[in-house]
Structure 1
Amino acid sequence: MSKASREERRQGPSLVRGKFLPDSTYDERLLDRRGSTEWLHMDPWRVLRIQAEFVEGFGQLGELPPAVTVFGSARTHADDADYAMGERLGQALAEAGYAVITGGGPGIMEAANKGARQAGGISVGLGIELPFEQKLNDYVDLGIEFRYFFVRKTMFVKYACGFVALPGGFGTLDELFEALTLVQTRKVTSFPVILMGGEFWGGLLDWIRGTLVKTGKISPEDVNLIQVTDDVDEAVRIIVESDRERNGARQEP
């Protein structure tokens, strides 16, 4: 971690440094029940800040064209094959007319934003306050910094017509399974969830089929909610076809 990253932090639209650096994040303080009960009297004020984040997100993103959210590891280096795949994906999505939304950080997120921008598309980054993090990458054209994960997650889903997950860690898995849950429970419809990097995801898919399905935790058809490919063109084709089906269904009398 660089010295600069330890001495400054983004907090929503604000940047704090030096003596203004807090010891914890907004999410941590919101979820913490230790100590005195003074926090009970602070939560109503937090609601106003949460409301403001929703208003900011809706206002900034409401006029986006159809968009695709791309997830993947922040730890992926620029010389990694996964980075190159993320860059090609961002470019292909932009060429197909989609805005590209990422978490705005480095690694795969940067790659997808870079590909979209270089193709002349709309590159969006939705950042989050973290104790060790990372600024928005240099390829983001429209960036919003959030304090609360659940507000940010709403924006990822509300303005996207599909998810693509490249190899990543806990954050990627979190978003992947949230997307699958929303589709499974029909909170969103005609929403493709695509995994890119078949070798990386193979063990997880084996566990889903061999444990979740086998023990009845999910239905066999739930596995079909996940589509896997290493082909950028195929990933874009899946999204385009799903988009056409959804739009066609809306236009039917």
Structure 2
Amino acid sequence: MGPHSDRPTTNYRGPILDRRQREETTTDQRLLDSRGASDWLHTDPWRVLRIQSEFVEGFGALAEMPSAVTVFGSARTPVDSDEYELGRRVGGELAKAGYAVITGGGPGAMEAANRGASEAGGFSVGLGIELPFEQGLNDWVDLGVNFRYFFVRKTMFVKYSQAFVCLPGGFGTLDELFEALTLVQTRKVTRFPIILLGTAYWSGLLDWIRGTLVESGKVSATDVDLLQCTDSVEDVLAAISASRREDADSARVEGDPS
């Protein structure tokens, strides 16, 4: 037994590591939960300052980062799985192509992408989140920021990424996927590639979108084109490169005085 074997499990409070007594609720939960005493009326205005500080910390940490691609995926992906190896490979190839690799900073597929980027000599970034259970940033993160609020963290993903790559994942991955898809569809952000990596995993979702959402008129057929699905890491790089060329061509056309 080590000298600290009697310590409580590590707890993260935003950017703060705290090995004392763990709180049973998260900052997001305390912000959004209006049940109970009315003292939230007095504390919510002060929470605005904490939210502001998270934006300032995130912008300050990431402002000078090179062009980046965010890789999403399950925290439950086993290290010895094909999906982990795929994440490791995509992280490495993105790094070799000159992109920083951003993940949620956790284990599983996120660790795989960070690991691949780090092993390839690239810039490996993890944007963590306060959770009621242990997670923390994986050991392959070069630059890590822990957030209290999901919506602040999501802003950082979108603001600093030129593309999103989604490895097989669960609710968290789906949340980020559809958030990005909605922002692009509604033109709240400039269009960027959203790539699903793993056709066997994602084909059922795409079939449902086409067969249910499109057929019932809930989305248009062109909306489906905002998603790309492949098994090839090379296709991922090609899609991102093509998008960057289109952006550069558009910028040249807009800047042409003639």
Do the two structures share a fold, i.e. TM-score over 0.5?
yes
In structure 2, C-alpha distance between the alignment counterparts of 1:6 and 1:212, rounded to whole Å = 47
Q: Deviations over 1:29-81 (max 9, x none)?
A: 00101111110110111000000000000001011111000000000011110
SS at match of 2:225: helix
**Structure 2 counterpart of 1:147, one-letter code:** R
* Aligned position for 1:18: 20
In structure 2, C-alpha distance between the alignment counterparts of 1:143 and 1:40, rounded to whole Å = 33
TM-score (norm 2): 0.94
Structure 2: gaps (5+ residues): none
**1:247: how far off?**
2.3
Cα 1:4/1:125, change in 2 over 3 Å: farther
Structure 1: gaps (5+ residues): none
Cα 1:82/1:199, change in 2 over 3 Å: same
Structure 1 contact 90–100 (Cα < 8 Å) conserved = yes
> Segments of 4+ in structure 1 off by > 6 A?
3-6
In structure 2, C-alpha distance between the alignment counterparts of 1:187 and 1:110, rounded to whole Å = 30
Structure 1 contact 67–98 (Cα < 8 Å) conserved = yes
SS at match of 1:18: coil
**Structure 1 counterpart of 2:57, one-letter code:** E
How many pairs were matched up?
250
* Aligned position for 2:207: 206
Pairing 1:125–2:126 present: yes
**1:248: how far off?**
2.4
Q: Deviations over 1:69-101 (max 9, x none)?
A: 000000001111011110110011011110000
Structure 1 contact 82–108 (Cα < 8 Å) conserved = yes
* Aligned position for 1:167: 168
* Aligned position for 1:43: 44
Structure 2 contact 7–19 (Cα < 8 Å) conserved = no
- Equivalent residue runs for 1:122-201 within 5 Å: 122-201=123-202
**Structure 1 counterpart of 2:61, one-letter code:** Q
Structure 1 contact 5–132 (Cα < 8 Å) conserved = no
Identity of aligned residues (%): 65
**Structure 2 counterpart of 1:14, one-letter code:** I
Q: Deviations over 1:158-212 (max 9, x none)?
A: 0001000000000000000001001100112230000001000111111100000
Structure 2 contact 105–138 (Cα < 8 Å) conserved = yes
Structure 1 contact 103–126 (Cα < 8 Å) conserved = yes
Higher helix share: 1
In structure 2, C-alpha distance between the alignment counterparts of 1:4 and 1:122, rounded to whole Å = 36
In structure 2, C-alpha distance between the alignment counterparts of 1:5 and 1:206, rounded to whole Å = 49
TM-score (norm 1): 0.96
In structure 2, C-alpha distance between the alignment counterparts of 1:214 and 1:27, rounded to whole Å = 37
- Equivalent residue runs for 1:233-244 within 5 Å: 233-244=234-245
Over the aligned positions, Cα root-mean-square deviation in angstroms equals: 1.4
Structure 2 contact 71–167 (Cα < 8 Å) conserved = yes
**Structure 2 counterpart of 1:227, one-letter code:** Q
Cα 1:16/1:158, change in 2 over 3 Å: same
In structure 2, C-alpha distance between the alignment counterparts of 1:223 and 1:57, rounded to whole Å = 32
Structure 2 contact 8–20 (Cα < 8 Å) conserved = no
Cα 1:6/1:31, change in 2 over 3 Å: farther
In structure 2, C-alpha distance between the alignment counterparts of 1:218 and 1:205, rounded to whole Å = 13
**Structure 1 counterpart of 2:248, one-letter code:** N
In structure 2, C-alpha distance between the alignment counterparts of 1:51 and 1:184, rounded to whole Å = 28
**1:6: how far off?**
6.4
In structure 2, C-alpha distance between the alignment counterparts of 1:244 and 1:29, rounded to whole Å = 44
**1:18: how far off?**
3.1
Structure 1 contact 5–133 (Cα < 8 Å) conserved = no
In structure 1, C-alpha distance between the alignment counterparts of 2:250 and 2:136, rounded to whole Å = 40
Pairing 1:249–2:250 present: yes
* Aligned position for 1:105: 106
